[in-house]
Amino acid sequence: MKVLVACEFSGVVRDAFSKRGHDAWSCDLLPTESEGKHIQGDVLEILRADWDLMIAHPPCTYLAASGLHWNKRRPERAALTEEALDFVRALLNAPIPRVAVENPIGCISSRIRKPDQIIQPWQFGNDASKATCLWLKGLPLLKPTNVLPGGRKTRRANQTASGQNNLPPTKDRWKLRSITYPGIAEAMADQW
């Protein structure tokens, strides 16, 4: 298949598909951090390039529930949330037969539509908790591949005692948190 991984600089998902023989490309405004087929630029400009599958990771800064409370304190953020929602709509409506859009729990669910599925990294062999919503078009739900013991009530390696992400605030925190867990990428490449 010809696969587009939108808004991915890490190459994790792209590389999982490439290893399985697919013509997989990542596209992001940032350069790739892993050698491979990468288009540095605006993904909206390449959506009509006869892709068979797109997995999109739109930036969650103005979409995630964890940051939406700032919209009332900083009015300029509300306009950025609207722009981010328009971007998600464009991805979901892309002329591609199979589409997956992933994002944390946030306003996509209430403003566009509820997700088809919510997954966790610990369902795919990664000792981490991060509820990830999937909006799907033409794709089946992802089946868990390696569910770690303890379920959702277990404190995972990426969490503090209070359940928050244990990465300290840094200028690159957003970047580190946006990278897809390898177990999820492998499941996508195997199942989709």
- The CATH number of whichever domain residue 105 belongs to comes to 3.40.50.150
Contact 186, 13 (CB under 8 A): no
Report which of residues 162 and 132 the model is more confident about: 132
- Number of domains composing the chain: 1
* In a domain? residue 118: yes
* In a domain? residue 69: no
Contact 180, 12 (CB under 8 A): yes
Domain residue limits at 143:
2-60+89-191
Q: Per-residue confidence at 131, pLDDT binned at 50, 70, 90?
A: confident
* In a domain? residue 109: yes
Please compute, for residue 10, the number of CA atoms within 13 A of its CA located in the half-sphere on the CB side. Answer: 15
Counting every residue, how long is the chain?
A: 192
**CA distances from residue 93 to 29, 45, 135, 154 in whole angstroms, order as listed:** 20, 14, 11, 37
Q: Per-residue confidence at 191, pLDDT binned at 50, 70, 90?
A: very high
Q: What is the pLDDT of residues 54-111, one digit of tens each?
A: 999 998 776 776 766 666 777 787 888 889 999 999 999 999 999 999 999 888 999 9
Q: Per-residue confidence at 153, pLDDT binned at 50, 70, 90?
A: confident
Q: Per-residue confidence at 117, pLDDT binned at 50, 70, 90?
A: very high
- pTM of the entire structure? 0.88
Q: Per-residue confidence at 154, pLDDT binned at 50, 70, 90?
A: confident
* In a domain? residue 123: yes
Measured distance CA(167)–CA(186) in Å, rounded: 24
Average pLDDT for 22-34: 96
Please tell me the predicted confidence (pLDDT) of residue 107. Answer: 81
- Is pLDDT at 143 greater than 80 in this prediction? yes
* In a domain? residue 150: yes
Please tell me the predicted confidence (pLDDT) of residue 69. Answer: 66
* In a domain? residue 125: yes
* In a domain? residue 21: yes
* In a domain? residue 154: yes
